[in-house]
Chains A and B, each alone.
Chain A
Amino acid sequence: MSALDMPVMLQLVIAAFLLIGALVALIGSWGLAKLPDFYTRLHGPTKASTLGVGCTLIGSLLYFSHQQDGVSVQEALVTIFLFATAPVSAHMMGKAALRRRLGGMPGTRNPPNR
């Protein structure tokens, strides 16, 4: 791999972005597998997974920007797209769940009476 001619600081920053992104995304998916009802499960992926992938993409952006002598902005495009669409899909899935009258976990306050 031709990452040898890269400054150490940049390598550190990219490595940190990749690792933190992967950890955050893993926590989001862990929440999806573990949490007790649909509405709480909705929180993990919309926030954690989106940010996790965003961090990975920014790491990749930095890497290829250095590699190809020019700013590589395409990864930023995917990141922006993900951040713009994650709340919309969460809203649509939440609506579907309300429509199917899914209940919350025991102890949920003000469950909707639809």
Chain B
Amino acid sequence: MTPNVRSRQFWLPHPLFSLFLALLWLLMVNDLSVAHALLGLALGVAIPIVTHAFWPEEAKIRRPLPLLRYLGVLLVDILRSNLVVALRILRPTRQLRPGFFTYPLALDDDFAITLLASTISLTPGTVSLHHDAEANTLLIHALHLEDEAEAIATIRTRYEQPLEEIFR
């Protein structure tokens, strides 16, 4: 489906994405002049028009404020996870109890699921391996699995519920 040439759908299918591209361009050239700002905006408009056929749907960020808080929590957890994983690596392998578990997803937005899977991979001792689209579950590998129910509950309250709040 091709939107009307005169509509906003055609010229600005993803306004936030356009803004993001313009900012990215300014960061990349490391130059805040007007000329580069205009060039960045031109790219921000042109790239979504050319590539919008590849985009399945627009992700809807309902509330930006919880997103910032979520990013803060994520940053702290990345640091914490590195400590945890580093300690596990340095300890003898015998003490390691790795394991798989499936995580039942409550989210249904593709972009939100992608974010959750990335979060799981970046946070303490877990890596997401497979997303089952039919059952809507994630297969997760944990470096040290003691209690599955507890691991699932942690992910649910710490990451999934804030994401639900942002994308609902």
Residues of A within 8 A of B (CB): 24, 27-28, 30-31, 34-37, 39-40, 42-44, 46-48, 50-51, 72-74, 76-77, 83-84, 86-88, 90-91, 94-95, 97-98, 104-105, 107-112
Contacts and interface: CB of A to CB of B under 8 A. Distances in A.
Give the interface SS of chain B, mostly helix, strand, loop or mixed.
helix
Contacts of B82: 24, 47-48, 51
Interface string B85-121: 1101110010011111100000000000000011111
Nearest to A95: B130
B100 A109 contact: yes
Contacts of A111: 100
B122 A46 contact: yes
Contacts of B98: 37, 39-40, 104-105, 107-109
B27 interface: yes
Contacts of B128: 87, 90-91, 94
B127 A42 contact: yes
A74 B24 CA distance: 10
Contacts of A46: 121-122, 127
B130 A90 contact: no
Contacts of A24: 82, 86
B145 interface: yes
A101 to B, nearest CB: 13
B27 A48 contact: no
Contacts of B122: 46-47, 50, 83, 86-87
A72 B128 CA distance: 34
Given A39-B127, A94-B127, A110 B101 contact: yes
